[in-house]
Amino acid sequence: MCGIIGYCGHRPAVPLVIEGLRRLEYRGYDSAGVSFVQNGELSVIRAEGKLGNLEKKLESRNVFSATSAMGHTRWATHGAPVEKNAHPHLDHTGKLAIIHNGIIENYQAIKAELSAKGIAFRSDTDSEVLVNLIAECLKDTGGDVTLAISAALSRVEGTYAIVVMSLDHPGTLWATRVASPLVMGVGTGENFFGSDIPAFLPYTRDVVFLEDGELVKITATSWEVMDTATLAPIEKTVAHINWDVQAAEKGGYKHFMLKEIFEQPKVIRDCLLGRIDAATGQVRLPELDDMPAPERLHIVACGTSYHAGLWGMYLLEKYAKIPVQVEIASEFRYRDPILPKNGVVLAISQSGETMDTMAGIKLAKSRGLPVIGLCNVVGSSISREADHVVYSQAGPEISVASTKAMCSQLAALLLLTLYWGRRNGAMTEAACADMVRELTSLPALLENALPGLRTSAQHLARRYAEATSFLFLGRGPCYPLALEGALKLKEISYIHAEGYAAGEMKHGPIALIDPRFPTFAIALDDEFFPKVKSNLVEVQARAGEIIALTNEGLDLDVEHPWTLPRANGPLAAFVTLPALQLFAYEMADYLGKDVDQPRNLAKSVTVE
């Protein structure tokens, strides 16, 4: 989520690091910072907001003699996006600095332990805890930084990519990763770390891809990779890449949308981070601990976030037994809704800036209802206006058409269902633990499925590229997914599409069906299957062609059955959603449309 760059070489390191951060800005930012050793001093300079603010701060300083430095652009996951929480973070002695991307899940316990030893913390971050833990370990390793990092990380749970700098070793940097991106660039008389290749692409195309649990030490002229736990040396090969900067920003994918669709397994993992009690399999959402499970819930959102909310309604009602009403924010804000005193509003927004959703929140607050924001962007307007915030933790979404953000919203809604279902007694501990177990195995299932889904989507997009209209059908929790499939197709390929509840079709839209009007159905192995099947027979009776997302072994005779891997109950949505997204993506790409920036649309809708 954050941008990381580290440099050891022969050039002025600070300007090089700033320039590298500029190339990583697409990863999102709310603050930025650099650190370097110069004249026997370890300096850290940080600024809130865009990179330009940091550059302004640096203007008045002579920072040209340092030849190693590291820098960071932050996309907040813990702590408000303010300067004290910006990276790098120093330990309490001022001799070690760290930049960190990821989440240390057990940082609170470590922080308590270090605080008891008299260490004072200046930020709210887990990263500052980690650098102090490394500093503590340094006391037992005779000043050996490699050993200290290894010892500290043996105590840490979570995900991270870190780079560490030491005042006592000014020309050396250390880095390691677990489930957060980190690559090394190998140059001549200079070496680099980056969260992404564009960080150092103008200087070298020779890259070492680092794996989880590998620790690397670089100087200007050397690099060594070892096992973080045992420090045993690891042989690595240097790959040569041919990407240009743009391709590198997209991680080699043709578009950000495609990259973000493929990030969904990671998005699910990130959304769960720190929220599952490993021992009991129960959900932790400490941000909501001081309020009871709602007796009634009003979900307010727009567009894709509204579809996520509709999907959440099926879950919350079925499992947590909470009555739910889902509202399109632009309608809700101008109605005179009846909002009972025992109600709670859940506002869902990726950007956290959507004006209609914000207006819905204000209306709810004026009626005395507590508001929970489910947002992706930390520190956004909605997250500040809401009384409680649950972050969806999807990372920056660059493509205008929302994909991975919806996946994270579904994951968060599932967590809310389990959390409230336990708190109000609607779910048993065992039922919750079962669902959590399935949820944690979902990313691997999705990772395996995505390449095959893309191939099917490519094939179908070519077959139907001349269609001018589509009907998307689903029932139950697949109905909101049908709405989303239609929205994705129309917004990026400009092909007209309508999403409909399959059972409603016979009340009107069936009149549209003819051999040139294809239907895209969601007919999975669930309790709705027999009903959906009979709706599809009605389509076939009018000579309509059908693409159906389905599961193996189901008795369904349509032109294009598209078999998805099985996922139980509500988890099927996480496999269905990327199939719908990929179909829209492949169609738009095949038709030569501007996938990442479709006409007439904006990423953040801050107007009425």
Phi and psi at 272, nearest 5°, equal: -85, -15
Closest separation in Å from C-beta 585 to ligand F6R? 12
Instruction: Give the C-alpha distances (Å, rounded to integers) separating 409 from 129, 548, 571.
Output: 29, 25, 13
User: Is the CB of residue 580 less than 8 Å from the CB of residue 473?
Assistant: no
Q: CA 455 to CA 259: how far, in whole Å? A: 15
Of 11-40, which residues contact ligand F6R (CB under 6 A)?
none
Judged by CB under 6 A, does residue 581 bind ligand F6R?
no
Nearer to ligand F6R, 351 or 535 (CB): 351
Token pair of 400 as six digits: 């205008």
Number of residues that bind ligand F6R (CB under 6 A): 15
Of 393-412, which residues contact ligand F6R (CB under 6 A)?
401-402
Binding segment for ligand F6R among 159-167, 302-310, 335-343, 365-373 (CB under 6 A)? 302-310
Binding segment for ligand F6R among 132-140, 154-162, 246-254, 299-307 (CB under 6 A)? 299-307
User: Is the CB of residue 376 less than 8 Å from the CB of residue 350?
Assistant: yes
Query: Would you tell me the crossing angle of helices 404-423 and 264-272 to the nearest 10 degrees?
Result: 30
Q: CA 432 to CA 261: how far, in whole Å? A: 27
Please identify which residue in 123, 146, 349, 392 interacts with ligand F6R, judged by CB under 6 A.
349
Judged by CB under 6 A, does residue 258 bind ligand F6R?
no
Closest separation in Å from C-beta 218 to ligand F6R? 39
Binding segment for ligand F6R among 76-84, 126-134, 349-357, 512-520 (CB under 6 A)? 349-357
Of 458-497, which residues contact ligand F6R (CB under 6 A)?
487, 491
Q: CA 460 to CA 466: how far, in whole Å? A: 11
Nearer to ligand F6R, 159 or 351 (CB): 351
User: Is the CB of residue 561 less than 8 Å from the CB of residue 532?
Assistant: no
Please identify which residue in 31, 350, 551, 576 interacts with ligand F6R, judged by CB under 6 A.
350
Nearer to ligand F6R, 487 or 532 (CB): 487
Please identify which residue in 302, 412, 442, 539 interacts with ligand F6R, judged by CB under 6 A.
302
Nearer to ligand F6R, 201 or 348 (CB): 348
User: Is the CB of residue 385 less than 8 Å from the CB of residue 361?
Assistant: yes
Kindly give the pairing relationship between strand 68-74 and strand 31-38.
Answer: antiparallel
Closest separation in Å from C-beta 383 to ligand F6R? 12
Please list, residue by residue across 22-56, b when 16 or more beta carbons sit within 10 angstroms of its beta carbon and e when fewer do: bbbbbbbbbbbbbbbbbeeebbbbbbbeebeebee
Please list, residue by residue across 566-603, b when 16 or more beta carbons sit within 10 angstroms of its beta carbon and e when fewer do: ebebbbbbbbbbbbbbbbbbbbbbeeebebbbbeeeee
- Name the DSSP letter for residue 292: P
Closest separation in Å from C-beta 403 to ligand F6R? 8
Nearer to ligand F6R, 401 or 461 (CB): 401
Nearer to ligand F6R, 37 or 401 (CB): 401
Please identify which residue in 132, 159, 180, 354 interacts with ligand F6R, judged by CB under 6 A.
354
Judged by CB under 6 A, does residue 357 bind ligand F6R?
yes
Judged by CB under 6 A, does residue 305 bind ligand F6R?
yes
Q: CA 217 to CA 169: how far, in whole Å? A: 11
Nearer to ligand F6R, 69 or 361 (CB): 361
Closest separation in Å from C-beta 344 to ligand F6R? 19
Judged by CB under 6 A, does residue 374 bind ligand F6R?
no
Which residue type occupies 145? Answer: V
Give every strand in the sheet of 496-501, ordered side by side.
496-501, 469-474, 519-523, 546-550, 560-563
Active site residues: 2, 603
SS (H, E, C) 230-256: CCCECCCCCEECCCCHHHHHCCCCCCH
Please identify which residue in 43, 68, 195, 304 interacts with ligand F6R, judged by CB under 6 A.
304
Closest separation in Å from C-beta 352 to ligand F6R? 7
Binding segment for ligand F6R among 153-161, 213-221, 346-354, 439-447 (CB under 6 A)? 346-354
User: Is the CB of residue 133 less than 8 Å from the CB of residue 139?
Assistant: no
Judged by CB under 6 A, does residue 386 bind ligand F6R?
no
Token pair of 449 as six digits: 């499925």
Token pair of 18 as six digits: 């700033």
Nearer to ligand F6R, 110 or 487 (CB): 487
Point out the residue whose Cβ comes nearest to ligand F6R. 303
Nearer to ligand F6R, 220 or 329 (CB): 329
Q: CA 363 to CA 369: how far, in whole Å? A: 9
Judged by CB under 6 A, does residue 605 bind ligand F6R?
yes
Calculate the CA dihedral of residues 337, 343, 348, 351 and round it to 10 degrees. Answer: 80
Binding segment for ligand F6R among 244-252, 348-356, 531-539, 561-569 (CB under 6 A)? 348-356
Angle (CA) 386 387 391, round 5°: 65
* DSSP 3-state of 599: coil
Nearer to ligand F6R, 20 or 485 (CB): 485
Please identify which residue in 38, 351, 519, 581 interacts with ligand F6R, judged by CB under 6 A.
351
Please identify which residue in 71, 303, 309, 379 interacts with ligand F6R, judged by CB under 6 A.
303
Closest separation in Å from C-beta 400 to ligand F6R? 6
Judged by CB under 6 A, does residue 380 bind ligand F6R?
no
Q: CA 255 to CA 247: how far, in whole Å? A: 8
Closest separation in Å from C-beta 314 to ligand F6R? 19
Interface contacts to ligand F6R, rule CB under 6 A: 302-305, 349-351, 354, 357, 401-402, 487, 491, 604-605
